[in-house]
Amino acid sequence: MSSSLNHPPTIADVAYKAGVSIATVSRVLTGSCPVLPETAESVRAAIAELKYVPRAAARVLASHRTNTIGLLMPDIGGAFFTPMLRGVEAGAREEGFDLLIHTTQSKPFDNLQRKPLGEHNTDGLLVLRDSIDEEEIRRLYAAGFPLVLIYDSPPENVGIPFVEIENKSSTQKLVEHLIDIHARKRIVFLGGPTGADPREEGYREALQGRDIPIDSSLMIKGEIDENPAARAIHHWLMGKTEFDAVFTGDDQVASGVLHALQEAGKRVPEDVSVVGFNDAPFSQYLIPPLTTIHVPDEQVGLEAVRQLTLLIRNGHADDKVLLPAELVIRQSCGCQPEHPHTFPPQLQSRS
C-alpha cells in the first residue's frame, strides 16, 4: 500500500489518497475557497483515514499568521492569577488561538537576547501590568503589533486597548457605604498599587457628595505594602490622628491594618471600620471577615482575549473595557453577618 507511511502524513499524502492536488486539500482545510462537496468529502475521508494533522509551523510560515497569542506576565502568582488565566485560556480556545505564556520576572526585557514572545511567534500579545517597561510597549505599538493591556492603562498618546475593572465607581460605592450605613467621616485612604488613581477619584467623589471635607493627611497614595501600612496606622494612633475607617487598596494590606489596629487595642469594626479590595481567598477568614470588592478576574481574561483577537483580525478594538466589580459586604465595615458563619468553607478542591 503506497499510502501506508512510516512518517507522519503530510498534505501530499492526503492529496494523493484523495486523488486531488495539495492546493485542494489546503482549501478544504482552510475553507478559504469553495470546493465541490464531493471533492471535499473525499478529502475529509482521506484526512480521517490517515489521521492527518497539519503541521503548525508550515501553516504559519506560508500564511504569515501564527494563530497564537502570547500572555506576558511579571510572574505567576497572586490571587487573581488562576481565574484570569482560566479566562484567557477559554477565550483563546474559543477564538481558535493557541496560547503561549511567559513571565518576564524582573529581568529587564533584553532586546538583544532572543525574545520569548513577540512578532516572531505570536499574532498579538496580552500584557499584564508590570510585565514590560513603557519603552518596550511603545516599540511594539509603533511596530503595529497587536497588544492588549490587562489591569493597566497605556502610556500617554499610545492607543493600546486595555481591560480594567471599574476602580472608581466601586471605590466610591464602598466609601459611600462606610459613610451612609456606618456614619464614618474620617476615612483613611491607603491607595494601593499603581493605577490606583481612579480609586482616589472615587474616594474623593464619595466624600464630596456627602459634604465631608477631604483631609489629605488621611491619604497615602501609590504603591503601599502591608508593613508600611501597619506602621502608618501605628504612627497615626500614637500621634492621635483621628480616624474611624480605613479604605485599603488590597486585602493583604487590609489584613495588616486589621492586625495593627487590634494590637493597638482598637476594636474593628466598633472603633474603626476596615475595608479591602480584591476579595482575596483568605479575606473571609479574617477576624472580623473583611468587607471588600470582588474583581471579575476571569471575565477580565476573557475580554482581553476578545479584544486582542478583534485587533488581530480587524485592526481595531475598543479603546478600553471596564468591567464592573462587586461589593462584598462582610463584617469588618460594621455590618452584621446575614447567615451564621458556617463550615466547611466552599473552596475549590485540589483534585
- In angstroms, give the least distance from the CB of 109 to DNA: 20
- Return the residue of 39, 86, 204, 318 that touches a second copy, per CB under 8 A: 86
- In angstroms, give the least distance from the CB of 49 to DNA: 15
Closer CB to DNA, 61 or 181, in the complex: 61
- In angstroms, give the least distance from the CB of 139 to DNA: 18
- Return the residue of 8, 209, 222, 324 that touches a second copy, per CB under 8 A: 8
Q: Which does 32 bind (CB under 5 to 8 A by kind): DNA, a second copy, none?
A: DNA
What is the enclosing helix (H) or strand (E) of 88?
A: helix 81-95
User: Cβ distance 169 to 323 under 8 Å?
Assistant: no
Buried b (16+ CB within 10 A) or exposed e, 173-192: bbbbbbbeebebbebbbbbb
- In angstroms, give the least distance from the CB of 181 to a second copy: 25
- Would you mind telling me the total number of residues written for the chain in this entry? 351
Q: Which does 180 bind (CB under 5 to 8 A by kind): a second copy, DNA, none?
A: none
282 touching a second copy, by CB under 8 A:
yes
Report the distance separating Cα 150 and Cα 166, nearest Å. Answer: 13
198 touching a second copy, by CB under 8 A:
no
231 touching a second copy, by CB under 8 A:
no
- The three-class DSSP label of residue 134 is helix
Residue found under cell 500500500:
1
Report the distance separating Cα 94 and Cα 103, nearest Å. Answer: 23
Report the distance separating Cα 196 and Cα 245, nearest Å. Answer: 19
- In angstroms, give the least distance from the CB of 103 to DNA: 25
Which residues 121-180 are close enough to bind a second copy by CB under 8 A? Answer: 121
Closer CB to a second copy, 218 or 224, in the complex: 224
Q: Which does 238 bind (CB under 5 to 8 A by kind): DNA, a second copy, none?
A: none
Q: Which does 214 bind (CB under 5 to 8 A by kind): DNA, a second copy, none?
A: none
C-alpha cell at 206: 464619595
Both ends of the chain: CA-CA distance in Å? Answer: 47
- In angstroms, give the least distance from the CB of 8 to DNA: 7
Report the distance separating Cα 148 and Cα 71, nearest Å. Answer: 10
Report the distance separating Cα 210 and Cα 328, nearest Å. Answer: 22
Binding site for DNA (CB under 7 A): 7-8, 10-12, 20-27, 29-30, 32-36, 39-40, 52, 54-55, 58-59, 61-65
